[in-house]
A and B are shown apart, each in its own frame.
Chain A
Amino acid sequence: MVQARDIERMIEQGFPGARVRVTGDDGRHFEALVVSGAFAGKNMVQRHQMVYRTLGDKVGGEIHALSLKTLTPEEE
Chain B
Amino acid sequence: MNTQDKIRQQLGASRIVLYMKGTPQFPQCGFSAKAAQLLSACGARYDSYDVLSDPELRQGLKEHSNWPTFPQLYVNGELVGGCDIMTELYQKGELQKLVTEAIAQ
Contacts and interface: CB of A to CB of B under 8 A. Distances in A.
A65 interface: yes
Interface residues of B, number: 15
B66 A49 contact: yes
Interface string B60-94: 00100011111000000001111111001000000
Interface string A60-72: 1100111110000
Interface size classification for chain A: 10 to 19
A48 B84 CA distance: 10
Interface in B22-45: 31
Interface of B: 31, 62, 66-70, 79-85, 88
